[in-house]
Structure 1
Amino acid sequence: MSQPETANAAVLRAEAVKNLMLQHDSFSQWLGLEVEEVGPGYCRLHFTVRPDMLNGFRALHGGVTFSAADSAFALACNSHGRQSVGLTVTIDYLEAGKLGDVITVEAQEEGLKHKIGVYQIQLTNQHGVLIALFKGTAYRTSNEIL
């Protein structure tokens, strides 16, 4: 590209990548993830905690929390149009989600280099209570998505 990309073009690309990824992502569909916004290095989505998402103590299963964060991470790190894969992730569980909670998952790019991107993902409930913090480092391949 000879000229710097416009912000609008970057948002349109992120939206196109989201559509392509979610079209083939049965697991995120099963989770009921609803993407509210995507942009370069950014994703915000939400889901509602269902009975089949609870663990034996009737709290949101950690695997569901992790998976929702991982999906937001994937959308954010692939939003630039280069296929990216997770290298390492960590999660801190701070509060238990409950049946009926609406969990918002917000992924924000903290650093982007040629081959590496770093992302912070926050999960909050409908009352603004921080449920979990997820950090992901992605390897950026040379494969163009679109």
Structure 2
Amino acid sequence: MIRKFRTDDLEQVMELWLATNISAHDFISVKYWHANYALVKEMLPQANIWVYEKNNEIWGFIGLQDTYIAGIFVADKAQGKGIGSELLAKAKQQKSQLSLAVYAKNERALNFYQRADFTVVNEQLDETTDQVEYLMKWQAS
């Protein structure tokens, strides 16, 4: 079930944020994610967040800042089951265009977004991680 984020979801969402970032970005130091944890925890409730909940456990979430997807996070055990696609579909229902940034080395995420009709519109360097990332956009037809 997809539902709006509630403040009592914060701990579960943050655990998922940390675990998923470490797992998906083995090319970035684990220290980076731990160093940014407190800032993300403070800023996250200000975003428009939808969670995917099953058996009272959050299996995934999407964070939006207007039309920018700050991230889609799905628990390792739940990946490949369509949860990310459902969360993305929820965002597409609400917005006629979306954008996001994805690390070039995160091929799984890059392929996911390309299958969802996002196109790369720019390549840039994320100076905080020294990693190349792609700016991607989607427009409703």
Q: Mark yes or no: TM-score above 0.5.
A: no
TM-score of the superposition, structure 1-length normalised? Answer: 0.30
Structure label with greater radius of gyration: 1
Please report the TM-score for the alignment, with normalisation by the length of structure 2.
0.31
Q: Flag the structure with more relative contact order, 1 or 2, with Cα contacts below 8 A and sequence separation at least 6.
A: 1
Bigger strand share: 1
